[in-house]
Structure 1
Amino acid sequence: MPKTGSTVYCKALNLFFCILILLLAPLTASAITTNEARNKEYLTVCGDPNHLPFSNKEMEGFENKIAQLIADDLNRTLRYHWWPQTIGFVRNTLRVRLCDLVMGVTSVNELLQNTNPYYRSVYTLVYRKDAGFEIRSLDNPALKQLRLGVVAGTPPATLLTKYGLMAQVRPYQRTVDTRLFSPATMAIEDVAMGNIDLAVIWGPIAGYAATRQKVPLTVIPLPAKVDSVPLAFNVSMGIRRRETNWKHQLNLELEKLAPRIEEILLDYNIPLLDTDDRLIKH
């Protein structure tokens, strides 16, 4: 049957749209990859308003200091959007574009991508200097006679269970409203007050909180891995997925500012590990 004018027109129109889609596809893919709706005048960070030593509204945390360092180097004004760092933190902040950066990300999250790490720390043992014992590992038999504290769900809790020590453990809740509670810091305070004998706490919190107690405390960094359980972790920053240019820019900043970042961290008495998991001396 011969083609009508209408049929020829429809086919030509379809061909036109096919060609248009092919031409625009690379541009669309590029837009998806590089569409980074960030304000070039500000560095906007999402942070916890009451979570020392990491951050607070008074800008006293080491993450506040590092964020300011980066903002100054980028010649931008630093501003914060405050949100408690608990369940839903990334979903309610970074993902809905309330900010462009989250500090202190220790694991891969499907809602964000990580920058290169800017420090590595490890879990520690904390006890009073006048305790009358010296313990440097979690398999020390003396632990069976002591009152222990650990944040529930953390890697050390796995080891304490494995070593049959949970009967001596006072657990501290992991997921809380940080505007009201700081369980890891409470564990350090309980050690200082004699309510427990020893706590196993994440290094950044332990190193900072131990120096702020009325009695001297001992902080012992644990090995990076014990019985296949990792106790040392890299810490990076978090940004939205597909923001490849922003990630590249931040990685350059972290490399450039690394000596000054390390100095800030050591000033907060954070136990730092190098790439070979050796303790970095202050």
Structure 2
Amino acid sequence: MPAWANLKMGLASVMLGLLAFTAQAQTSDLVSKHALRVCADPANLPMSSKDGTGYENKIADLIGEKLDLPVRYEWYPMATGFVRNTLKPKKCDVIIGYAQGHELVLNTNHYLTSTFVLITPQDSPLAQVTSLSDQTLKGARIGVIAGTPPATHMARNGLIGKAKPYNLTVDRRYESPAENMLDDLQNGEIDAAILWGPIGGPLVKQQHADFAAIPLFEETLPPRLYYRITMGVRQGEKVWQRELNSLIRRNQDEINAILAEAGVPLINDMGTGLLDVGQ
């Protein structure tokens, strides 16, 4: 091959490398260097709250501390339009809790695996139930968030007839289905409640010490009841994603401690048993 051809190929390779570097730099420059800008719901306890008491607030504080950046929030209800009105227009740079695999965001590695829980008074016969196929549940009045995976299991097992549904997507500033469900359980209007563990577990620990929250990780039929939770960033921001992945990996024990202290039921990545977090 002539020398000029080698030179031409070399220059082309350099130019491609420069273009890739420039694109990467442009992507990372979208992320604030002056603050950890968090997209969050101002009224979504136990996860996030404007007063900073949610466990996602505490995880954000941990990440901000590791980055040596102050935490700043862009508040918006976690409902339809949340990503479109916060992360996408670059008003903030990370959502602390987002389900793995959702196409609206670029997911980091997961830092939390949890499952739905069955909540019932500790002295109830239902407190021994670990699966929605358990015959002990027959005839029970069970509260469930409409459209969630446990409702499918309840229908399969003949539990829908007496079920009480609660709304799935709401503005938590005005409506709180999970808290309403637990109030109904406290008042005897239902016999048990089924909630997503990272919501139900902390609410039981903080507000209903006489309840038991039983992780439902023994279901063998679909749909699965356990899910992995990640942080969410803008599509294409691979540099920022990798930085957060590294922070999650190096600080997983501290993240686990925050979650365990809050009352979040942590299970292993395969959804087969409780995670030992040393507490």
**TM-score computed with the length of structure 1 as normaliser:** 0.87
Identity fraction in percent: 37
Select the residue among 182, 205, 208 that pairs with 2:202: 208
1:52 partner amino acid? L
2:189 partner amino acid? N
Give the corresponding residue for 1:190: 184
Gaps of 5+ in 1: 1-20
Offset of 1:31 from its aligned partner?
3.7
Offset of 1:26 from its aligned partner?
5.8
Give the corresponding residue for 1:152: 146
Q: Is residue 111 from structure 1 mapped to residue 127 from structure 2 by the alignment?
A: no
Gaps of 5+ in 2: 1-11
Q: Is residue 98 from structure 1 mapped to residue 119 from structure 2 by the alignment?
A: no
Q: Which moved more, 1:235-244 or 1:216-225?
A: 216-225
1:204 partner amino acid? P
RMSD between superposed Cα atoms in Å: 2.1
CA distance in 1 between partners of 2:23 and 2:78 (Å): 29
Select the residue among 46, 50, 54 that pairs with 1:61: 54
Rg (Cα) greater in structure: 1
Q: Is residue 175 from structure 1 mapped to residue 169 from structure 2 by the alignment?
A: yes
Task: Please give the secondary structure, in 1, of the residue aligned with 2:138.
Answer: helix
CA distance in 2 between partners of 1:111 and 1:53 (Å): 23
CA distance in 2 between partners of 1:225 and 1:33 (Å): 43
CA distance in 1 between partners of 2:17 and 2:67 (Å): 31
Q: Deviations over 1:173-211 (max 9, x none)?
A: 001111111212321222122111011111111111112
CA distance in 2 between partners of 1:31 and 1:185 (Å): 49
Question: How many residues are paired up?
Answer: 263
Select the residue among 119, 123, 129 that pairs with 1:130: 123
Does the 8 Å CA contact 2:115/2:227 hold for their aligned counterparts? yes
Does the 8 Å CA contact 2:132/2:219 hold for their aligned counterparts? no
Does the 8 Å CA contact 2:118/2:214 hold for their aligned counterparts? yes
CA distance in 2 between partners of 1:224 and 1:86 (Å): 30
Give the corresponding residue for 1:230: 224
**TM-score computed with the length of structure 2 as normaliser:** 0.88
1:139 partner amino acid? S
Q: Deviations over 1:232-278 (max 9, x none)?
A: 11000000111111111111110111111000000011110123432
Structure 1's consecutive aligned runs of 4 or more residues displaced over 6 angstroms after TM superposition are: 21-25
Task: Please give the secondary structure, in 2, of the residue aligned with 1:226.
Answer: coil
Give the corresponding residue for 1:260: 254
Offset of 1:24 from its aligned partner?
6.5
CA distance in 2 between partners of 1:142 and 1:253 (Å): 44
Offset of 1:212 from its aligned partner?
3.1
Task: Please give the secondary structure, in 2, of the residue aligned with 1:166.
Answer: coil
Task: Please give the secondary structure, in 1, of the residue aligned with 2:96.
Answer: strand
